[in-house]
Amino acid sequence: MSWDRRILPGSVPAYLFATFCVALSSCLHLGLGLVSEDSQVFTTSYPAVLFATLLGGVGAGMYAAVLSGLIAWWAFMTPPFTFLFRTSGQIGSELIYFFVCFLIVWAADHYRSLTKRLEDEEKFRKLTVEELAHRLKNKIATIQAIISFQLRDEPETRKAIIGRLSALSATDDLILETQGQGARLREILAAELGPYEVSRIAIAGPVILLSPKLATTMALLIHELATNAAKYGALSSATGQVAISWSLSDRRLSLEWRETGGPVIGTPTKTGFGMRLLAQALTQFGGAVETKFEAAGFLCKMSVTTSDDTKAIGPDKGNTATLMTGVVV
């Protein structure tokens, strides 16, 4: 919470608020006096000084301490409504009161300074992250332009590389939205499968926030699977369908990609880049991948070990239409 956004230190509202705190504490003291005659003179003054300092700064806090001390000296000490005839014990109580108020003001102001410093650092961090993300997007756009020019005579290779760069860029945007914490698996699927027909894709799995590194890897893998499905698999035919399901248990994330209704594809004799990526990308996470070219369609099962703080943060919605719009509910 930012105190500075409400009242500026040293401003007229700061002193007005301090006056209000003192008035309220005096009324509370009168109320306590009706309940118990043994209530301490300065009992209600300390909270007034604390809140005045927190919201109004050192000046407002010291002002509240002096004003509240004078009111207590004049109205609540015996005999009341006079500044004269005070015993040594009463004078000592007043001195102790001001000393305690000094400690309260110092501590409260220190807290305000620390809070402001943390807020400034957080603002700077967010600004830095946004600036780095902006520069990264510009660099990716530049790289895409260079690739498009250099590979203008190789459209298939150009399209494949630019598609992978776009997948990385989309995932970076998702990670940025979570302030660098990672990206949700559902949103990664939405980014990669959004261009395809909703009715042909089914999903099932809890909402999971992946770490930035794992999210980037999963984005590349999902992109490869979706691209291959569109070129050769289920999404290349009018009747093909894709079902994606996943689960998380004891930090182990298991994901299944199953294609049905597409053209019959035999086991390839040559391993392409996409299959090599599937086989190698997950090893850094202690992962494993299994692929099968069944009669019903292509099947891919993946499993990885996630970070210690990874957990399901939402139930299984199973809403494919919502997924395709890129909105997670």
Name residues whose C-beta falls within 8 Å of residue 244's C-beta, 6 or more positions apart in sequence: 189, 201, 202, 203, 204, 205, 255, 256, 257, 258
Residues in the chain, pLDDT under 50: 1-4, 35-39, 318-329
Burial-class residue 69 by CB neighbours within 10 Å (0-12, 13-18, 19+): buried
Q: What pLDDT does 247 receive?
A: 92
Which two three-digit tokens encode residue 10? 């040293």
Q: What pLDDT does 39 receive?
A: 46
Q: What pLDDT does 33 receive?
A: 58
Q: Where do the CATH 3.30.565.10 domains begin and end in the chain?
A: 151-324
Q: What pLDDT does 35 receive?
A: 43
Q: What pLDDT does 242 receive?
A: 93
Amino acid at 282: L
Q: What pLDDT does 228 receive?
A: 85
Residue 292, classed as helix, strand or coil, is: strand
Identify the CATH class of 151-324.
Answer: alpha beta
Q: What pLDDT does 255 receive?
A: 94
Report the C-alpha gap between 175 and 173 in whole angstroms. Answer: 5
